[in-house]
Structure 1
């Protein structure tokens, strides 16, 4: 649910993003572990800043300068 919420949030704001499926891509799985440090999805990276889970307020703060 949270992954879909982040995706819908980004699409609704016209933000381009790279979707990585950690269940199908071993490299994406490794990146996920390195970024999140725990098994919580989604993990969203905006200009090097990591957001774990769906945090609308934090995403808005990070995306504001690039919109």
Structure 2
């Protein structure tokens, strides 16, 4: 995920949901899942590395 976003020139903030309880709770409240990677783009959340969905929300 990090490589994909970097190649696209997308600035991102990485959060360690294993160590950051607030980040983990936010992720679960928005997605209903404990899966990583999870990417938030605006108010959209993408769970897992889904290149097609990422391309759509990044354009």
Higher helix proportion (structure 1 or 2): 1
1:11 correspondence with 2:11 = no
Cα deviation digits, residues 24-65 of structure 1 (max 9, x gap): 11111111111220222111111111111110010001001x
The normalised TM-score by structure 1 is: 0.80
Q: 1:46 aligns with which of 34, 41, 57?
A: 41
Per the alignment, residue 54 of structure 2 pairs with: 59
Higher relative contact order (CA 8 A, sep 6+): 1
The normalised TM-score by structure 2 is: 0.90
